Amino acid sequence: MLYPNKKPVLSGERGFTLVELMIVVGIFTVISAVMLMNYPGFSHRISLQNLAHLIALEVRQAQVYGLSVRESSPGSEIFAPHGIYFTAADRGSFVLFVDTVPLSGNNKYDGSLNCDLSAECLERLIIGNGDRIKDICAVASGGSEVCASSGGVDTLNIVFTRPDPDALITINGVETLYQSARIKIEPPKRDFEKTIVVSVTGQISIQ
């Protein structure tokens, strides 16, 4: 006789044992520990990648300004060259500038690093998250490279003048032109780096 209010007992039903629960918890613990250990490195790589793209984008912006009809000052009808300025004295910032001294341009930034009272400074870009510019280099036509790390570069200017899309790359305020510029950046732990390469043809790449 069956009783409608009484559930049948299944002899095969069983739950997780304590050993099985401990194994599952242990697996999750190991996975979480590995993820937490790798997170800082992953975060630094993403931050450095973003910085590399920011620098490349600012160089491209200078190129666009240099080739376009952007006036150096409202109503002036003077379309001055534009460029990017780096200095070994400050590895935490760089400057987007308009080359107005003299009016024809002298292919270098003549303002102050902090942009105070500087007619040439358009924007000073501050690098955050502990990242920094590791080195600034220029490569000559013969392939020889000079860098700030070896004492050969104090300042680096990358200038674009209309209507030529090519880049004018100079160091230390001297008119000698170089074939490419290399801006090396690194994260706080200095365990890896990225390089932004600007060639004399105006091409910009990230390595």
Residue 29 lies in a domain: no
Name the pLDDT band for 19 (thresholds 50, 70, 90). Answer: confident
- Domain membership flag for residue 17: no
* Residue 55 within a domain: yes
What pLDDT score was predicted for residue 147? 97
Give mean pLDDT, residues 116-128: 85
152 in a structural domain: yes
The answer as to whether 180 is a domain residue is: yes
Provide the CB-side half-sphere exposure for 184 (13 A, CA).
Answer: 14
**Assigned domain for 18 exists:** no
Quote the number of domains for the chain. 1
Terminal alpha carbon distance of the chain: 81
pLDDT, residue 23, reads: 83
**pLDDT exceeds 70 at position 14:** no
How would you classify residue 117: left for phi > 0, otherwise alpha for psi between -120 and 50, otherwise beta? left
* pLDDT value at residue 68: 79
Residue 170 lies inside a defined structural domain of this protein: yes
CA neighbor of 156 nearest in space, from 97, 71, 77: 97
Q: How far is CA 5 from CA 2, 8, 13, in A?
A: 9, 10, 20
